[in-house]
Amino acid sequence: MPKELSAWDKLTIAREPDRPTALDYIDNIFDEFIELHGDRQFSDDKAIVCGLARLNETNFTIIAEQKGRNTKENIERNFGMPNPESYRKSLRFMKQAEKFNRPIITFVDTKGAYPGIEAEERGQGEAIARNILEMSRIRVPIIVIVIGEGSSGGALAIGVGDEILMLENSVYSILSPEGYASILWKDSSRAKEAAEVMKMTAKDLLEFKVIDKVIKEAKGGAQKNLKAMSESIKNEIINAYEKLKNIDKDELINRRYNKFRNMGEYKTKA
């Protein structure tokens, strides 16, 4: 049997520059995609891509954290680190999805929400909090797919959903291992060690019941075969949607509430 990759190995794969980004998958999975822009309040932040997509007979609203595929695009997209406007844009499209009874798919891939002066001035914390609250009660199915790095509140801000899927080598954590080591041990160079204790792999999170399913990747990672990876994700989207589409709306919201309500590890006092 092949040796299980360490959390650090997986993180390294998740961060590889040629790892497929959300738009790579979107292009391959959907029959049609129309990108739409802007939060209607301040700007169009490009770290999150929103739009409408069709898959067979179903229309979806897409919300996707987007890293750049080269230096120029990375600068434009702020390395996939959203400003508050990205979250407010996402919320606008989630509300629109609800209005038109259109299911939502989110692609999570970020090192975290952007820590900058302007981001703070425009309420990064409030923007994330508001998204989390609203996602908990949006009355259409929400499918969340972690495709690369899912780090901190910046990931969770588009991560509250009914079915949460993760690619095999993607990670999902409270913070990047560098940040974690820096805060807990005052030494960001201990990131590798942090990655191993944080339980951030898809396998760990499945055990924690934080996610519902792991989507297998090609040996060496998703970039080895984009077509096959896209096909697997597409099938999982179809499966997840089949499961959710006929659930009564009140029941859907209850189910989602209880899903997160039950998260947490504690015991009864001795």
Residues that bind another protein (CB under 8 A): 113-117, 119-126, 128-130, 132-134, 136-137, 152-153, 156-157, 159-160, 172-175, 179-180, 182-184, 197-200, 204-205, 208, 210, 256-257, 260-261, 263-270
Question: Beta 142-151 vs 171-173: how paired, if at all?
Answer: parallel
Closest CA to 115 of 67, 144, 89, 79: 79
Rounded to a whole number of angstroms, the minimum distance from the CB of residue 153 to another protein is: 4
| Closer Cβ to another protein, 26 or 165, answer by number | 165
Residue 249 Cβ vs another protein, minimum distance, rounded to whole Å? 14
* Minimum distance, C-beta of residue 110 to another protein, in the bound complex (Å): 13
The alpha carbon torsion through 82, 84, 88, 93 (nearest 10 deg) reads 0
Rounded to a whole number of angstroms, the minimum distance from the CB of residue 81 to another protein is 9
Residue 174 or 226 having the CB closest to another protein:
174
Closest CB to another protein among residues 3, 186:
186
The smaller minimum CB distance to another protein, of residues 23 and 146, is found at 146
User: In this structure, are residues 16 and 221 in contact, taking their beta carbons and an 8 Å threshold?
Assistant: yes
Look up residue 177 and give its DSSP letter: H
The enclosing H or E element of 242 equals: helix 226-244
**Residues 179, 155: Cα–Cα separation, whole Å:** 15
Nearer to another protein, 210 or 238 (CB): 210
In the complex, least distance from residue 177 CB atom to another protein, rounded to whole angstroms: 11
Tokens of 183: 């805060």
* Beta carbon of residue 149, minimum distance to another protein (angstroms, whole number): 13
Q: What angle do CA 257, 141, 210 make, to 5 degrees?
A: 50
Residue (75 or 133) nearer to another protein, CB: 133
Q: What is the Cα Rg of the chain in Å?
A: 18
Tokens matching residue 102: 């259109």
The alpha carbon dihedral of 43, 47, 48, 50 has a sign of: positive
